[in-house]
Structure 1
Amino acid sequence: MMNMITDMKFLNFFKITACLVGIGVATSACAAGSSVLKIEEEKKVPKIQTIKKRDTASVAILGDSLAVGLYIGLTHLARKNEKLKVQKYSRVNTGLVRYDRYDWSKAAKKISQTDDSNIYILMFGANDLQSIRENSKAYHFQSKGWVKHYNERIDEITNAVKKPGREVFWVGLPIVGKSNFADGYQYLNDMFRARAKLNGITYIDSWDWFANSNGKFQMSGETADGKKRLLRAKDKVHFTPAGYADLGVRVAKEMQISN
């Protein structure tokens, strides 16, 4: 029996290899081989967590200046909901690029060990459109080396906070009014979305929440409760207090936290 199993594995390996290198193998065999490859690839991708509808939640927020604002927004919401607890670990002037300023990989591990919140929110990228330095070498934004190291840092911080019974959410960057930032932020969001899927956590797309009907940046807009407000700060990246409050409401809704 063991020999039969080994032979079958070898046969599948031969079929797949033959298809890849162009050896003359029947089309049906290649299709079967492709199915095996597909199954193997699917096994490597973790199942995305199920978002639970909840009446109570303890939330830990890690990230940069935008995450500091999100904390303010969720705290505003928590004042109306005693069952929502929010803890801030986010810091201004930090990110996943400049670990010489603040090492988020190390910090996330320590935070995860001491804070048993059942929800962790990660929001990074506002300061990350710059080079990464590793071992005295600079990797410029979007270069092959930069992408490799940045993906590794996304994975490190994600895996540092993942625990059984805990839900992890990665909040993407919002639309911004600075043209030299917009393309870079969308590039980062694509990376965040892809790594969230691979790491089995939930990605929350915030880009269109603060866009107008044409998908363009706007300073003022309609909040989640239907009111017209000034939402964005003068730098066209950050938010006004009303904007952060609205961001908090929208993120809470995505996490199915009751208002």
Structure 2
Amino acid sequence: MASGTRCIGSFRGDGFEIFKFAKEATGFTRYRVLDLEQRAREQLAAQPIDAAVISFGANDAQAVFANGHLHPLMSDGWKQVIGDRIDGYVKALRSTGAVVYWIGLPVMRDPQLDAEMQAMDAFYEQHMRRLGVPFLDSRPLTLDAQGRYNAYLPDLKTGKPVLMRTGDGLHMIGVGYQRLTNAVASDLRRYAERARRESGRPVPAATPSGEAR
């Protein structure tokens, strides 16, 4: 979660086709390195998508330089610049008719960084509400029973403690990211079924476990 990640996909045949548009060490504060809106437009021109799941991490916990001014983290100027960039990014994704989801940040081990992440998440959630983008609050999913950071969390199926975090106290490992995206994945399955029915395309048959392929 330390860098911006974008997982974008389309409904194909009786399943899903996933396109990983992520690029590490980028973010809305780093447009001198990479303009995310321009990159999204270029990617979508080459590959239209049906759904986009967005998450940005700790790389954006810094000041942003724009229009000749340096705006400190979470200042009014920072919020204006980042808000405008988010608007453009979501607009680019929606230009293909895609549904957009935003996944919030997990709890961080470092208290200072965690406080910054909470402030950023509150800003993102408010902004997503204004844009009509579903926002998934990841924080409750990454706290232990005592409401603290813990690298080991109960498995959603077995309830047994499972390693979810990497050693840096920032990132999650694969099973941890699955924990965060489980709710979005379920909603996307329902959305895909509705989209297929409305377009007259067949809905996937259920597997023995009861889940769509």
1:135-154 aligned within 5 A:
135-154=67-86
**1:33 match:** none
1:215 counterpart SS class: coil
1:21-60 aligned within 5 A:
none
**1:225 match:** 157
Cα distance between partner residues in 2 of 1:66 and 1:230: 23
Distance 1:144 1:173, change over 3 A: same
Cα distance between partner residues in 1 of 2:97 and 2:28: 26
> Is the Cα–Cα contact under 8 Å of residues 152 and 163 in structure 2 kept in the other structure?
yes
Where structure 2 has 5 or more consecutive residues not aligned to the other structure, the ranges are: 191-210
Instruction: Report how far residue 99 of structure 1 moved.
Output: 0.9
2:174 to 218, 241, 259: 241
1:169 counterpart SS class: strand
**Rg larger in 1 or in 2?**
1
1:175-190 aligned within 5 A:
175-190=107-122
1:255 counterpart SS class: helix
Where structure 1 has 5 or more consecutive residues not aligned to the other structure, the ranges are: 1-62, 76-81
Q: More helix per residue: 1 or 2?
A: 1
**1:95 match:** 27
Cα distance between partner residues in 2 of 1:175 and 1:200: 25
**1:193 match:** 125
Cα distance between partner residues in 1 of 2:110 and 2:67: 32
Distance 1:101 1:145, change over 3 A: same
Letter in 2 for 1:83: G
Distance 1:66 1:147, change over 3 A: closer
**2:199 match:** none
Instruction: Report how far residue 240 of structure 1 moved.
Output: 2.2
Cα distance between partner residues in 1 of 2:4 and 2:161: 22
Name the structure, 1 or 2, with higher relative contact order (CA <8 Å, separation 6+): 1
Instruction: Report how far residue 246 of structure 1 moved.
Output: 3.1
1:70-81 aligned within 5 A:
none
> Is the Cα–Cα contact under 8 Å of residues 151 and 163 in structure 2 kept in the other structure?
yes
Instruction: Report how far residue 66 of structure 1 moved.
Output: 6.0
% identity of equivalent residues? 23
Cα distance between partner residues in 2 of 1:228 and 1:175: 17
TM-superposition CA deviations, 1:159-188 (whole Å, max 9, x none): 111146421101111111111111111111
**2:208 match:** none
Cα distance between partner residues in 1 of 2:174 and 2:96: 34
